[in-house]
Amino acid sequence: MLNAIGKGIEFIGGCTLFVGEIIHSGFRGKFSTHEIAEQTWRVSMQSLSTTALAGFFVGAIMTVQFTMQIQQFGALGYLGGLSTSGTIREIGPLLIAFMLSGKVGAFTSAELGTMKVTEQLDAIRCLGSSPIREIILPRYIAIILSSFFLLTIGLFMSIGGGLLLGMFFSGINYEEYLRHIPTIVAWPSILIGLFKCLVFSIILASICTYRGYTTTGGAKGVGQAVVNTAVATMIGIVVADWVTSYISEAIQNFFLGA
């Protein structure tokens, strides 16, 4: 138990220092905006269909669950607002981020890990360039941008999935489903969902690049890095979801109280 806690603290410290090095490298010298754009496009296109499909079914599942709970009270008119609010604030960002951690995180970790064990990163360093600035930084920024974009797209798709299941499963027309969304889903709820998307994107980018960059042990080490990336990102996202929910509620209550 103590050994696991020690390894966890060591990982958090190492990842934090690594992110600090990435930020310092970005301010210290020029980096390729073309590479960032290319990486962003590549990651987004590779994961767009998966994220959209995941978001669609997340919204559909939430609609089914809410229908089973509220139809006995004759409150199906509020189905759209309740389902959309729960999806945007809590369930949607979390589940879609899990999908991205297995898609984007594992791929990036494997790519960087392969470059590390085949000494490609060392070759860049021997040529007088910084692998952090040339390789890691563009991917780090690209993962944050693309993951935030994909999570946002997933949330919009979840509304479509909830609407479709509301019509076919709950027997409610689309106008009634959409009518109460503006009254229940206020701007604070949307901002909370987008804030969580941004935090999850940063966690995903930090962990997968750190795990890939610190890979050792050849092909076996690359596989282990991918597994560790998946586990660490899921744990990090769950913890971040709890922290951001607590902070968001505290801020919202403060302003409402004021």
Question: One digit per residue, pLDDT tens: the chain, 258 residues?
Answer: 667 677 778 888 889 898 898 888 776 767 677 888 888 898 888 888 888 888 898 888 888 888 877 877 777 778 888 888 888 877 788 888 888 888 888 888 999 999 999 888 888 888 878 888 888 888 899 989 988 888 888 888 888 888 888 888 777 887 888 887 887 877 777 888 888 888 999 999 999 999 999 998 888 889 898 988 988 998 999 999 888 888 877 777 766 555
Residue 186's φ and ψ, nearest 5 degrees, are -85, 175
Q: CA of 45: how far to CAs of 86, 105, 135, 136, in Å?
A: 27, 15, 20, 20
At 79 the pLDDT is: 81
Helix axes 106-117, 218-257, angle to 10 degrees: 140
pLDDT at 254: 66
Looking at residue 31, what DSSP letter applies?
Answer: -
Burial of 34 (C-beta count, 10 Å sphere; 0-12/13-18/19+): exposed
Residue 37: closest CA among 147, 142, 151: 142
Say what the pLDDT of residue 210 is: 92
Crossing angle (nearest 10°) for helices 33-70 and 79-86? 140
Please list, in sequence order, all residues whose beta carbon lies within 8 angstroms of the beta carbon of residue 67, skipping any fewer than 6 positions away. 76, 79, 166, 169, 170
Q: Which pLDDT value is given to residue 21?
A: 87
Could you identify the residue written with the tokens 């990651």? Answer: 43
pLDDT at site 209: 92
pLDDT score at 29: 65
